[in-house]
Amino acid sequence: MSASSHIVVAGAGSVGCFTGGLLAAAGRRVTLLARPRTIAEIAAHDLTLTDFAGLDRTVPAARMTLTEDPACLAGADLTLVTVKTAATAAIAEAIADHAPPAAPVVSLQNGLDGMEILTRRLSGRDLRAGMVPFNVVPMGPGRFHRASSGDILIGSGAQPLAPLLSVPGLPVAETADITAVQWGKLLLNLNNALNALSGLTLHAQLQDREWRRLMADQMSEALTVLRAAGIAVTSTTAAPPGLIPHVLRLPTPLFARIAARMMVIDPSARASMSHDLLAGRATEIDALQGRILRLAEETGTPVPLCRRVAGLIREAETRGAGLPGLSVAQVRAGWSQR
């Protein structure tokens, strides 16, 4: 891989536009394979990328190729998959039909389901799982804001990809243990549903000890399931996975001091699931809490809180009325500590 390699961002939504935009700004050859509305917005307004640390960069639309035609994958030297889990099968078919068999494919998706779908359809290719620790918020036509901190990790392989993908504002590293890292991120992503149910910003939610206790109880359930299944977990923060629930339960002043060393979160940030409910889109609940529920069935482990949270999100999807704005007591209703 060289700096002139052609990178196709397949399914360029918030994360795809942000990462693809920074790659293009650094001079990489980038094609955004996106929905017509996204293409039209970028074509009309260019691509503006901001973040919590003061990044403010406009990438001219002319610096990228914008298309809705999956045939663009035929020229890919590297494909970054950034679609939601439910759209993975369709993008896998497009890659199989068009992309060169020797071109690596990197999944920058939440959870582990997306990578497993890609593996089933694209067997024999250089497939890499990835972990994106930050969230990206759409802020209007052609504008995307990175609202939390962290660097991207991808699985290592026969040829290094991090040198091509690491550009100013977007450090990327490789690891041989990416699956354990993905499980660590999934544990944190279980809060996506709680954040959506609360209607709060992440900052406000994390300043509320009762919400943090709920987060801790849910994570403890999931950790019990993972231990029962013999699954290794690597933390994506400075704290080991088993310690995070204890940190969440600390009094707020002490928690705030510790959390400030672990992650930076923009005061206006909300979890991606909040944005899905606000936009009336299907969420990724099946790839997050749903994954824990499936493991719980296999191991015979009770997970009443995770089950309750998943049910509340599905109910919110059905109602289609935006964020439920529930209290901690309402989320806990019907659940008793075991």
Q: What are the φ and ψ backbone dihedral angles of 13, each rounded to 5 degrees?
A: -100, -135
Is a pLDDT exceeding 50 seen at residue 337? no
For the chain, give every residue range classified as CATH 3.40.50.720: 6-175
What residues does CATH 1.10.1040.10 cover in the chain?
A: 182-332
User: Residue 11: which of 133, 166, 117 has the closest Cα?
Assistant: 117
Share above pLDDT 70 across residues of the chain, in percent, rounded to a whole number: 99
Q: Which of 217, 203, 80, 44 is nearest to 135 (CA)?
A: 203
**What is the per-residue pLDDT across 187-237, written as a single tens digit (0 to 9) for each?**
999 999 999 999 999 999 999 999 999 999 999 999 999 999 999 999 888
Task: Give Cα 332 distance to the centre of its chain.
Answer: 26
Average pLDDT over residues 116-129: 96
Q: How many CB atoms lie within 10 A of CB 325?
A: 11
Give the pairing of strands 143-146 and 136-140.
antiparallel
Q: Among 56, 7, 1, 43, which residue's Cα sits nearest to residue 28?
A: 7
Q: How confident is the model at residue 262 (pLDDT cuts 50, 70, 90)?
A: confident
For residues 262 and 91, what is the distance between their CA atoms, to the nearest angstrom? 34
The pTM of this model reads 0.91
pLDDT tens string 2-59: 888 999 999 989 999 999 999 999 999 999 999 999 999 999 999 999 999 999 999 9
Question: What whole-number distance in Å separates Cα of residue 69 and Cα of residue 3?
Answer: 24
Query: What would be the CATH architecture of the domain defined by 182-332?
Result: Orthogonal Bundle (1.10)
CATH domain 6-175 topology: Rossmann fold (3.40.50)
